[in-house]
A and B are shown apart, each in its own frame.
Chain A
Amino acid sequence: LAKTTQPISMDSYEGQEVNITCSHNNIATNDYITWYQQFPSQGPRFIIQGYKTKVTNEVASLFIPADRKSSTLSLPRVSLSDTAVYYCLVGAEAAGNKLTFGGGTRVLVKP
């Protein structure tokens, strides 16, 4: 299983862009990269998934360099409601057979 490493926490201010980088040095050729968001006392929520280059949806963007050994989740113009824990999952961890979470990044958005 590809192991992921993320910063434990990040602080930001309303209106700023937040970028969270996840390292996954032993990512396998077929592995996808998936990000989840979790608010306190709620279940995680799927944000975005990608394989290479860039993926964008209405919530976030995901940047994946050519070597795929890392990925960056970008949250544009954050608001207080984006305060949450963000988890990066890779490959077999994100596959339906074993959805295994790493440590996650606790993002605090300040006014």
Chain B
Amino acid sequence: DTEVTQTPKHLVMGMTNKKSLKCEQHMGHRAMYWYKQKAKKPPELMFVYSYEKLSINESVPSRFSPECPNSSLLNLHLHALQPEDSALYLCASSQDFQGAGSRTEAFFGQGTRLTVV
């Protein structure tokens, strides 16, 4: 099983809503990532978890709150978002948290298309 599963596939939420994005992998990967991607732009790294601990936060606003309940699951909790937060949110995983120069293949989910109204 080389899949990263993200739910939901589409989400429309109001600016006062609270919602969560979910990501699951069963490849035994110990590094998991959240990315945000706007149309015609490359994915932008938001958060990295390594061994279920937050290791990188790319100065993401606090209205985005990540959580890693166990080694297979990654959540992104959303609260008080703005319309400009509308984007494709991608989850990825890789085998390990490795240093520079290491060989890493990351597996990505299909993403959640988020629209904030």
Name the segment of B12-20, B64-72, B103-111 touching the other chain.
B103-111
Q: Does A63 contact B (CB under 8 A)?
A: no
Q: Does A7 contact B (CB under 8 A)?
A: no
Sample (11) of A-B pairs whose CB atoms are under 8 Å apart: A30-B101, A31-B101, A32-B101, A44-B90, A46-B106, A91-B101, A92-B100, A95-B102, A97-B31, A99-B94, A99-B106
Q: B48 to nearest A CB, angstroms?
A: 7
Q: Is the CB of A43 within 8 A of B111?
A: yes
Question: Chain B interface (Cβ within 8 Å of chain A)?
Answer: 4, 31, 33, 42-45, 48, 50, 55-56, 88, 90-92, 94-111, 113
A99 to B90 CA separation, bound complex (whole angstroms): 13
Q: Is the CB of B100 within 8 A of A91?
A: yes
Q: Does A41 contact B (CB under 8 A)?
A: yes
Q: Is the CB of A96 within 8 A of B94?
A: yes
User: Looking at chain A's contact residues, is the secondary structure mostly helix, strand, loop, or mixed?
Assistant: loop
List residues of chain A with CB within 8 A of the CB of B43: 44, 101
The 5 closest A-B pairs by CB, nearest first: A43-B108, A30-B101, A92-B100, A101-B42, A96-B98
Counting chain A residues whose Cβ lies within 8 A of the other chain, the interface size class is 20 to 34
Q: Is the CB of A96 within 8 A of B108?
A: no
A94 to B99 CA separation, bound complex (whole angstroms): 10
Q: Is the CB of A43 within 8 A of B90?
A: yes
A100 to B32 CA separation, bound complex (whole angstroms): 14
List residues of chain A with CB within 8 A of the CB of B31: 96-97
Apart from A41-B110, A95-B104: 14 A-B pairs, beta carbons within 8 A? A30-B101, A31-B101, A43-B4, A43-B90, A43-B108, A44-B90, A92-B100, A95-B102, A96-B31, A96-B96, A96-B102, A98-B56, A99-B104, A104-B42
